[in-house]
Amino acid sequence: MSNGVVNGTTNGHTNGTTNGTANGTAGPQYVQATNPHLKTQAEDFLYHFGISKTSGDIKSFKDIKIVCCGGSAGRFEMYAKQFGKDSGIPVSKNLSSSDRFVMYKTGPVLWVNHGMGVPSMSIMLNEVIKLLHYAEASDVSFIRIGTSGGVGVAPGTVVVSNGTLNGLFEEKHTQYIRRQVVKRDAVLDQSLAKELYDTGLRLGIPVENGMTLCADDFYEGQMRLDGAFCEYTAEDKFEFLKLLKEHGVRNIEMEATGFASFTKRANVKAGIICVALLNRLNGDQVTIPHDDYIKFEFRPFNIVCAFIQAKIASL
């Protein structure tokens, strides 16, 4: 520890796991919830889903291999039902009894929304990770499907993230715990990113690889000029966006570093695939026609669906 900053530690121990591996051992890779206090609790109520650890159907999640998640509850209900229709797999009812999140199951695939920003998403991830841990699910991949602002890419381009950056251009997720700044690695699985990218190419969908900037808010953190407050100039904005592009950033959203960090700690593969709704170099507001918005919104979903169907066929 130095200057109140802890790098990549949990309860004083370094986090040595990487996405898709468990200390280099072979065999099934189980979803990890490493909190030692969980072992002393006979019950654990996943409050924001209304699901209990001791529920008789907790083991029904054991077969989950892919968790698809993103911000909007309505969008993920639509995605789950469309995937079920396209693949011929029955769609469950909404398995969440809370109004905070929705959860649908289509065979080995779970569809969950997470709200906007890392704080909301972290609640979902904590509880879904524990759910799959209790269910003894193994070899699970998490894929975040979303919308974003592009940096130097045309609207409608799907960006498959090959890395994440915070507002200081670090591949880290920052938390404040016990009056300390805790920074943890925020890295994604490169093999999963390549598979998603290659699937997009095969489908003929405009797709790019690139870094993703995770902002802490929608307006000032993304250097927009149209928020209620703004204490920088248009020149400052374009200088910042130009610097992003030089660092390989191709899109901006509000979840990437947290998503990469939490999934890494849980020992699962993780990928992020988002469509750009605008090129931030050309403006701050989404002005595309509604029909184009719907078409663009389905592009990352179509890539993920093709990827999942190939995986299911190989199970």
Answer yes or no: is 210 a known binding residue. Answer: no
Q: Is 147 annotated as a binding residue?
A: yes
Using DSSP, state whether 51 is helix, strand or coil: strand
Does 224 carry a binding-site annotation?
Answer: yes
Query: Is 222 marked as binding a ligand?
Result: yes
Contacts of 250 (CB under 8 A, 6+ apart): 150, 151, 152, 153, 159, 208, 209, 210, 211, 212, 276
Asked whether residue 146 is marked as a ligand-binding residue, the answer is yes
CB neighbourhood size of 157 (10 A): 24
265 in a labelled binding site:
no
What is the per-residue DSSP string for 280-305? GGG-SS----HHHHHHHHHHHHHHHH
**249, 212 contact by CB (below 8 A):** yes
Was 100 annotated as part of a binding site?
Answer: yes
Known binding residues are 100, 144-147, 222, 224
Residues that constitute the known binding site for phosphate: 100, 144-147
Bind-site residues for substrate = 222, 224
